[in-house]
C-alpha cells in the first residue's frame, strides 16, 4: 500500500479548520485535524511544503516509522506548528488503517474499555447569578460535569466568558484583541464564586475551573488551597507549564486535582509532571500532542502514576479531533473525562460526524477508522477568515501570561 497524494483543506464554517486528507493507491483516504487556533496557515505551509512531498510513496500502514520520520528525522524538533502537522498526519494514517481493516479506531488501540465517554460542559456567565442559572440549565440537560468560568468584578472582559450565549469562541476576526487582567481581583473572587455554586448544585455534580495560566506557582498554590472545600474535579492550567517544577509548589499546598497541558505538544513537556505525580490529568489532545501514536505512549507512562486523560476539546478542535479523542478515551484504561463544546450547526454541514451526546456522555458509532468525513463542496463555501486569540495585559499595560 502506498500514499499517492495528500491535500490540505482549509475552511471556516463559523471558525477556521485545517484538515489533512491523505490518499492511497487502494482508494482509501484518511483525515487528520491540523487546526491550530490563530496560526492555521503556518501549519498549512509546513504540511504543503515539507511534509506532503515526503509522505508520497510511503506505506501508510507504517504509522510508527512515519511518526519517527517526522519527529526524530527532522533536525528542528517540537513546537506547536510542526507537532500539529505531525499529529494530523498520524491521525490520517490511523484513519486509513481502520478503514483498511474495516474496524473503528478503538479496536486497534485496545478495544472498548467502556461504552460511553463522560464529558464536561461549559458554563460561563458575566456574574455569579448568571453563571448559576446556566449551570442549572446544563445540569437539567443531563451534564454530570461542568466547567465554571465567570466575569470577575473590576476586570472588563475575563477570558473564557463567551460573548455568544450559545457557542464558545475565544478567537476574534483580525489581529489579536487586547484583554486586561488583574490577578489579585481574580484570586479574591474565585473562592466566593465556587462557594456559591457548590452550595447551590450540591455534591453530586463535578465542578471544573480553568485558570488559563494566569497565576504564578505561589498564587496558584493559594487558589488551589482555597478551593479545597468545594471539591473541584480539577483546576486547569493553574500556571504556565514551561516550568514543570513550578507545579511542585501547588502540590505541596493543596489536594485540589490539577489538569495541565492543552498547549503542550510532546511527552517531554510532561516528564517531571508525571514522574513526580504533580498532576492528575493530561490536557494535551490528539491533534496537538503527536497524534494517536505519541499520545498512547504519554498515557501509558501516565497510567503508572495514576494520571488520567482529560483532553482539550474546545470548538477550535475539529470534529475529526473530537472523534479521534473519543476512540482513544473509549479504549484507554486511564480515562478521566473529555472536554466537550458543541460545534456551531454549520460545522456539521461540512463534517459528517459519527458521535452523539446523550445526558452528558458522548457515544461513538462503529464507522471504520476515525469515522468522520468531510464534504469538500460544502467546505469550499466557507473560505478562511483570519482570526486571533487575544493577548493579555495588566491594567498598567504590562504584557501578561498566556
> Which residues sit at the interface with ligand EZ4, rule CB under 6 A?
37, 160, 170, 210, 212, 262, 312, 314, 316, 339, 389
Grid coordinates belonging to 179: 484583554
Decide which of Co ion, ligand EZ4, none touches 37; Cβ closer than 5 to 8 Å per partner kind: ligand EZ4
Q: How far is the CB of 212 from Co ion (least distance, A)?
A: 6
Decide which of ligand EZ4, Co ion, none touches 42; Cβ closer than 5 to 8 Å per partner kind: none
Q: Is 278 exposed, middle or buried (0-12, 13-18, 19+ CB in 10 A)?
A: buried
Backbone dihedral region of 173: left (phi > 0), alpha (psi from -120 to 50 degrees) or beta? beta
Q: How far is the CB of 114 from ligand EZ4 (least distance, A)?
A: 23
Catalytic (active site) residue 159: yes
Distance between CA atoms of 186 and 176, rounded to whole angstroms? 22
Distance between CA atoms of 112 and 328, rounded to whole angstroms? 9
Q: Under rule CB under 5 A, which residues in 224-283 are in contact with Co ion?
A: 262
Q: Which is nearer to Co ion, 109 or 146 (CB)?
A: 146
Catalytic (active site) residue 340: no
Q: Is 339 in the site for Co ion (CB under 5 A)?
A: no
Decide which of Co ion, ligand EZ4, none touches 316; Cβ closer than 5 to 8 Å per partner kind: ligand EZ4
Residues in contact with 370: Cβ distance below 8 Å, sequence separation at least 6, in sequence order: 30, 31, 91, 94, 95, 98, 105, 320, 323, 324, 327
Q: How far is the CB of 147 from Co ion (least distance, A)?
A: 8
Cα atoms in the Cβ-side hemisphere of radius 13 Å centred on 232 = 28
Residues in contact with 54: Cβ distance below 8 Å, sequence separation at least 6, in sequence order: 69, 70
Q: How far is the CB of 389 from ligand EZ4 (least distance, A)?
A: 6
Out of 122, 209, 212, 312, pick the active-site residue: 212
Grid coordinates belonging to 273: 509532571
Out of 69, 159, 305, 384, pick the active-site residue: 159
- Residue in the shown chain whose Cβ atom is closest to ligand EZ4: 314
**Residue appearing with cell numbers 475575563:** 158
Per-residue x/- track, 200-219, Co ion (CB under 5 A): ----------x---------
For binding to Co ion (CB under 5 A), which residues are involved? 210, 262
Q: Which of the residues are catalytic? A: 159, 212
Amino acid at each position: 500500500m502506498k500514499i499517492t497524494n495528500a491535500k490540505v483543506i482549509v475552511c471556516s464554517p463559523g471558525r477556521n479548520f485545517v484538515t489533512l486528507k491523505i490518499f492511497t493507491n487502494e482508494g482509501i483516504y484518511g483525515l487528520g485535524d491540523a487546526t491550530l487556533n490563530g496560526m492555521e496557515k503556518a501549519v498549512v505551509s509546513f504540511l504543503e511544503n515539507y511534509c506532503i512531498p515526503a509522505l508520497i510513496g510511503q506505506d501508510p500502514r507504517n504509522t510508527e516509522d512515519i511518526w519517527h520520520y517526522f519527529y526524530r528525522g527532522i533536525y528542528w524538533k517540537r513546537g506547536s506548528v510542526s507537532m500539529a502537522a505531525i499529529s494530523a498526519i498520524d491521525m490520517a494514517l490511523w484513519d486509513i488503517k481502520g478503514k483498511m481493516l474495516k474496524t473503528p479506531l478503538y479496536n486497534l488501540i485496545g478495544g472498548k474499555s467502556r461504552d460511553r465517554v463522560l464529558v464536561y460542559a461549559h458554563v460561563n456567565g458575566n456574574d455569579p447569578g448568571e453563571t448559576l442559572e446556566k449551570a442549572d440549565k446544563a445540569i437539567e440537560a443531563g451534564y454530570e460535569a461542568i466547567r465554571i468560568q465567570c466575569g470577575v468584578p473590576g476586570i472588563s472582559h475575563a477570558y473564557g466568558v463567551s460573548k455568544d450565549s450559545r457557542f464558545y469562541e475565544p478567537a476574534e476576526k483580525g489581529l489579536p484583541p487586547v484583554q486586561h487582567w488583574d490577578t489579585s481581583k481574580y484570586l479574591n473572587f474565585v473562592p466566593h464564586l465556587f462557594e456559591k455554586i457548590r452550595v447551590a448544585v450540591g455534591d453530586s455534580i463535578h465542578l471544573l475551573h480553568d485558570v488559563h495560566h494566569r497565576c504564578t506557582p505561589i498564587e496558584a498554590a493559594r487558589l488551589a488551597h482555597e478551593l479545597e472545600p468545594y471539591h473541584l474535579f480539577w483546576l486547569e492550567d493553574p500556571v504556565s507549564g514551561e516550568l514543570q517544577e513550578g507545579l511542585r509548589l501547588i502540590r505541596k499546598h493543596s489536594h485540589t486535582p490539577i489538569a495541565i497541558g492543552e498547549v503542550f505538544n510532546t511527552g517531554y513537556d510532561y516528564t517531571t509532571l508525571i514522574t513526580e505525580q504533580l498532576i492528575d490529568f493530561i490536557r494535551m489532545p490528539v491533534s496537538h500532542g503527536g497524534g494517536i501514536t505519541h499520545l498512547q505512549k504519554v498515557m501509558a507512562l501516565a497510567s503508572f502514576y495514576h494520571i488520567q486523560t482529560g483532553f482539550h476539546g474546545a470548538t477550535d478542535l475539529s470534529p475529526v479531533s473530537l472523534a479521534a479523542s473519543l476512540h482513544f478515551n473509549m479504549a484507554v484504561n486511564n480515562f478521566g473525562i473529555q472536554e466537550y463544546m458543541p460545534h456551531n450547526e454549520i460545522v456539521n454541514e461540512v463534517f459528517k460526524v459519527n458521535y452523539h451526546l446523550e445526558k452528558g456522555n458522548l457515544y461513538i458509532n462503529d464507522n471504520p477508522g476515525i469515522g468522520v468525513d468531510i464534504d469538500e463542496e460544502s467546505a469550499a463555501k466557507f473560505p478562511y477568515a483570519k482570526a486571533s486569540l487575544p493577548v493579555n495585559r495588566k491594567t498598567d499595560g504590562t504584557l501578561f501570561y498566556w
